[in-house]
C-alpha cells in the first residue's frame, strides 16, 4: 500500500472487514427500501395511510405482503414510511451533534486557557444530566406555549424536527471531548507550529491543518451516535412524546402495537426487529470504521 492515498488505504482496510461490509450493505438496503416507499406503494396499489376497517388484521397476501394492522393499513408500507422518519432522525441529529461537538471541542482544544475551562465545565454539566429523563421533559413541553405559531407547532413534521433539535442540542458532549483531546495534541505538532511560524492565521490553521486530522474520531463517533439516537427516538415515540401520528415511525408503530402484542405479535415484531437490525448494523459499521481509520491497523 506504499504510496497509496490515505482514503484508498482506509477503504482497503474497511473492505477486509467482512462483518462491517455486510452491516453497511444491510444499512444501504434499509435506506434504499425506505426511500422507495412511494414506489412500493404504487406497485401494491395501496397506501400506508388508507384505513380499511373491513380489512383489519388481514394475513400476508400479494396485496399486503406483511398483512394489515388494526385499522386495515398496509403494514409493509407503514414500516417503510416509519423507517424514513427514524433513519432521518438518527442521521440528521447525529450530524447536528457532530457539528456542535466538533466546534466546541476544536475551540476548547486549540485555544485552551479560560475558554477551554468554560467549555469543558459546560460539557461536564451536560454529561452529569441523565439524558433520557431530560429528553422526556423537553419533548413533553408544548411548543405552542413557548411562543411558536400554532400552525407550526402542530405541523405533521413538527415532532420529527423537535426530536432532531433536542438531541442535537444535548447530544454533542461525547464528540466535544474526543475532539478536544485530539486538538490538544495536534496544536503542538510540527506542521501546526510551522504553519503558525509562516504567519498562517488561526482560522486557516484550524480549517486546513487541524480539522482534517479530526475526521477519524468524528466519523466514528457520529456513526455510533446514530444508533443511539434511533433508540432514543423509539423510546420517546413509544412514550408518546416523539414523532406523533399520523406521521409513522418505528417507535410509534411499537406504541400502537403494545396492546395487541398477544393477539397480533407481528405488529410489534417487525418494527422492533428493524430497530434492532439498524442499531446493531450501525455499531458494527462504527467499529469497522474505527479499525480502518486506525493507522496502527496497517501493521496488524
Dump pLDDT digits (tens) for 109-119.
Answer: 999 889 999 99
In this predicted model, what pLDDT tens digit does every residue of 38-79 receive, in sequence order? 898 888 888 888 888 888 888 888 888 998 888 888 999 999
Question: Three-class SS string for the chain?
Answer: CCCCCHHHHHHHHHHHCHHHHHHHHHHHHHHHHHHCHHHHHHHHCCCCCCCCHHHCCCCCCCCCCCCECCCCCEHHHHHHHHHHHHHHHHHHHHHHHHHHHHHHHHHHHHHCHHHHHHHHHHHHHHHHCCHHHHHHHHHHCCHHHHCCCHHHHCCCCHHHHHHHHHHHHHCCHHHHHHHHHHHHHHCCCHHHHHHHHCCCCHHHHHHHHHHHHHHHHHHHHHHHHHHHHHHHHHHHHHCCCCCCCCCCCHHHHHHHHHHHCCCCCHHHHHHHHHHHHHHHHHHHHHHHHHHHHCHHHHHC
CB 102 within 8 A of CB 111: no
Supply the pLDDT for residue 22: 95
The CATH architecture one would assign to domain 7-45+66-299 is Orthogonal Bundle (1.10)
Alpha carbons 266 and 69: distance in angstroms, whole number: 10
- pTM of the shown model: 0.86
Per-residue pLDDT tens over the stretch 242-279: 777 778 888 888 888 888 888 888 898 999 999 999 99
Of 292, 266, 283, 253, give the one whose Cα is nearest residue 82.
253
Alpha carbons 173 and 123: distance in angstroms, whole number: 6
Are 25 and 44 contacting, i.e. CB atoms less than 8 angstroms apart? Answer: no
Give the side-chain half-sphere CA count within 13 A for 27: 23
- Name the nearest CA neighbour of 289 among 4, 53, 7: 7
Q: Which range is least confidently modeled, 156-165, 176-185, 231-240?
A: 156-165
Interval 6-24: pLDDT, tens: 678 788 888 888 999 999 9
Block residue for cell numbers 451536560: 126
Residue 142: pLDDT band with limits 50, 70, 90:
low
Amino acid at each position: 500500500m506504499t504510496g497509496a492515498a490515505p482514503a484508498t488505504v482506509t477503504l482497503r482496510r474497511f473492505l477486509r472487514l467482512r462483518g462491517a461490509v455486510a452491516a453497511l450493505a444491510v444499512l444501504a438496503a434499509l435506506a434504499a427500501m425506505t426511500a422507495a416507499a412511494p414506489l412500493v406503494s404504487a406497485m401494491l396499489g395501496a397506501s400506508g395511510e388508507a384505513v380499511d376497517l373491513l380489512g383489519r388484521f388481514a394475513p400476508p397476501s400479494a396485496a399486503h405482503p406483511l398483512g394489515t394492522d388494526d385499522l386495515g393499513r398496509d403494514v409493509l408500507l407503514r414500516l417503510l414510511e416509519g423507517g424514513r422518519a427514524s433513519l432521518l432522525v438518527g442521521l440528521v441529529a447525529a450530524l447536528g451533534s457532530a457539528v456542535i461537538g466538533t466546534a466546541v471541542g476544536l475551540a476548547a482544544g486549540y485555544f485552551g486557557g479560560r475558554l477551554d475551562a468554560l467549555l469543558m465545565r459546560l460539557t461536564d454539566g451536560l454529561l452529569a444530566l441523565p439524558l433520557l429523563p431530560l429528553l422526556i421533559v423537553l419533548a413533553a413541553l408544548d411548543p405552542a406555549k413557548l411562543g411558536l405559531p400554532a400552525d407550526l407547532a402542530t405541523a405533521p413534521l413538527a415532532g420529527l424536527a423537535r426530536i432532531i433539535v433536542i438531541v442535537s442540542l444535548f447530544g454533542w458532549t461525547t464528540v466535544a471531548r474526543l475532539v478536544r483531546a485530539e486538538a490538544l495534541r495536534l496544536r503542538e505538532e510540527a506542521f501546526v507550529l510551522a504553519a503558525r511560524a509562516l504567519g498562517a492565521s488561526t482560522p486557516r490553521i484550524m480549517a486546513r491543518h487541524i480539522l482534517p486530522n479530526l475526521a477519524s474520531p468524528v466519523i466514528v463517533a457520529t456513526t455510533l451516535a446514530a444508533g443511539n439516537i434511533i433508540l432514543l427516538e423509539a423510546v420517546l415515540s413509544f412514550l408518546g412524546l416523539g414523532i406523533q401520528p399520523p406521521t409513522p415511525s418505528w417507535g410509534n408503530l411499537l406504541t400502537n402495537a403494545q396492546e395487541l402484542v398477544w393477539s397480533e405479535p407481528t405488529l410489534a415484531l417487525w418494527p422492533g426487529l428493524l430497530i434492532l437490525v439498524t442499531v446493531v448494523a450501525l455499531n458494527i459499521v462504527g467499529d469497522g470504521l474505527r479499525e480502518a481509520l486506525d493507522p496502527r491497523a496497517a501493521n496488524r
